[in-house]
Amino acid sequence: MNYADRLQAAVDCTGNACLVGLDPILELLPADFAAARDVERPRAERARALGDFCCEVIDVVAGRIPAVKPQSAFFEALGSDGVRQFERVVARAKNAGLIVIADVKRGDIASTAEAYAHAFLGGVAGVHEDELADAVTLSPFLGSDSIAPFLDVCKRTGRGCYVLVRTSNKGSADFQRHGSPELSFQVADAVVKWGSELVGESGLSSVGAVVGATHGAELASFRERMPRTPFLLPGYGAQGAGANDVVGAFLSPSRSGAPRGALVNSSRGILFAHREPRHAGKSWKDATRAALDAMIQDLGAALGAR
Amino acid sequence: MNYADRLQAAVDCTGNACLVGLDPILELLPADFAAARDVERPRAERARALGDFCCEVIDVVAGRIPAVKPQSAFFEALGSDGVRQFERVVARAKNAGLIVIADVKRGDIASTAEAYAHAFLGGVAGVHEDELADAVTLSPFLGSDSIAPFLDVCKRTGRGCYVLVRTSNKGSADFQRHGSPELSFQVADAVVKWGSELVGESGLSSVGAVVGATHGAELASFRERMPRTPFLLPGYGAQGAGANDVVGAFLSPSRSGAPRGALVNSSRGILFAHREPRHAGKSWKDATRAALDAMIQDLGAALGAR
């Protein structure tokens, strides 16, 4: 089954388009997982604590939201032991019924890109299917031939990808706004082309776009350029964007009345809610649950009001 | 000690600027390592065979060339077992006295980029120092704030990075030539700026640039824009570029008469030389040795003739 359709089914089921980013930043982990930052411990033990935290977060959010997005970098920082935990976290999230988007932002020449596609999305024999993500984030800097191997694997496996179009950070303006029309628009047009053969029954393609929620004013023009592209919107919460900033990225609701066309990501705002004064006195799980409920409610209200 | 200075010392020592890319493509491995592509075997065993091959290549090339460039994707394709072997290969190469450039092409927002910097270049307690690379390749798509964490780690650890400026593949034209001046020139100017505080006694910076050897005609203009930047030139051999194409990337020789300012990478042409008709009858090691000798000779002749 097409990735875009599977994703929409998950959104229909939960009724919201919230995506929780699994960014286990060592310094911010709750006290229960302090072993992860204890440099005196063996690396495998530290990685295990990092994985434990993510698995517990998954248990908290499963059934409430359609998808999670583990960020590879925080696992890779603990070497192969960390990568082993990344695999465990992906498997745990899939078992819990969540769509998994591996945030890896890879991008390389075709023969190398093919190896990355196999690493994260499969499409070859001998991979551990339960450890493969449903979709992956990609950097477009190397051009069409660097994306093609992923399109091929997506077609064969029913998986998806999200290409960086305009990122949420300040520095995104340095190169992504270069030229006229700006580079991001060129990439957006390419994303439409790359995704044209992967449009599912939901009317959306399995080739998505990462567009920072921090660029609220521009979201509408990106949406206009990419009418059938699922958006992944980072930047909500800790990075400064709110529910009203992301409304323009959504398409008309699905038949079941659920949001369609975008996922809104929050990482630190959900995972590390226990550090915020407004959640003082709560356990980290209760804080995470409360922060997620607030996000679901805020997004629902903003989408309902349009 | 500054990365650029350590690199120049290694080039002075071997007298050539050849870089062997460790791209262990499963289908191309010599028969001795067929276990790596046997999907019936446990993944750890397959990864071990992949690592064994790279370690044997390192034994063949050590002492003859200054540096190697393991390509992470081919290891990641075998999951955490593959990443474990990547670490082993990095450690083996460093023990053999080779400079190690981890080809990972990472690029992400600052907090995430910091985790990647720690993963590959260290700069924090608790990392396995012997498994860390000397330098890393980076994608600039997310802008200055995505590069800054690497510059910080490079300053503190004496390590280096190479930023993608113009890649060797055909698709590089899609976005890297976008705008006027083209994006690659913008990135080149940024590379100079990023590297300005990391210039060593060799007169070169520890912030390098990846410029495809396949763009021979443009190399001179990139060199003009980046006069103190070490170049990493992929595209030699299997991708079509020859010794004369890369001459324009080099600066005046070092005091010892060795090449200065660039490394020329060949991966498949060296690793899989045994598959070429001209090396028929040779063992894979003899074929690799002969191909490397030919590359060293060809480059030396081209540089000597200018």
Q: What is the pLDDT of residues B217-236, one digit of tens each?
A: 889 999 999 999 999 999 89
Closest by Cβ to B142, choosing from A25, A142, A172:
A172
Nearest CA in chain B to A146: B171
Specify the pLDDT at position A238.
75
* Mutant choice from A26, A37, A71, A76 vs B, greatest count of B C-beta within 10 A: A76
Q: What is the least distance, in Å, from the CA of B62 to any CA of chain A? A: 24
d(Cα A198, Cα A159) in Å, to the nearest integer? 10
Judged by a CB distance cut-off of 8 A, whether residue B113 touches chain A is yes
Residues in chain A: 306
pLDDT for A66 beyond 80: yes
Question: Is B176 close to A74, i.e. CB distance below 8 A?
Answer: no
Question: CA-CA distances (angstroms) from residue B28 to A22, A168, B55, B183, B277?
Answer: 36, 40, 16, 35, 15
Specify the pLDDT at position B271.
98
DSSP A230-258: PEEE--BGGGSB-HHHHGGG-BSPPTTS-
Domain ranges of chain B: 3-304
Question: Is A79 close to B87, i.e. CB distance below 8 A?
Answer: yes
d(Cα B35, Cα A29) in Å, to the nearest integer? 41
Q: Which residues of A are catalytic?
A: 105
d(Cα A212, Cα A234) in Å, to the nearest integer? 5
Nearest CA in chain A to B171: A143
d(Cα A151, Cα A1) in Å, to the nearest integer? 15
pLDDT band at B306 (very low <50, low <70, confident <90, very high): confident
| Per-residue model confidence as pLDDT tens digits over B159-211 | 999 999 999 999 999 999 999 999 999 999 999 999 999 999 999 999 999 99
Question: Is B107 close to A109, i.e. CB distance below 8 A?
Answer: no
Closest by Cβ to A142, choosing from B82, B171, B183:
B171
ipTM: 0.97
d(Cα A133, Cα A99) in Å, to the nearest integer? 8
pTM for this predicted structure: 0.98
Which member of B69, B94, B105, B285 is catalytic? B105
Q: What is the least distance, in Å, from the CA of B304 to any CA of chain A? A: 31
Topology classification of domain A3-301: TIM Barrel (3.20.20)
**Distance spanning both ends of chain B, measured CA to CA:** 31
Q: Give the three-class secondary structure for B42.
A: coil
Phi, psi of B98 (to 5 degrees): -90, 145
| Per-residue model confidence as pLDDT tens digits over A248-296 | 999 999 999 999 999 999 999 999 999 999 999 999 999 999 999 999 9
To the nearest 10°, report the CA torsion of B162, A164, B176, A110. Answer: 80
CATH superfamily to which B3-304 belongs: Aldolase class I (3.20.20.70)
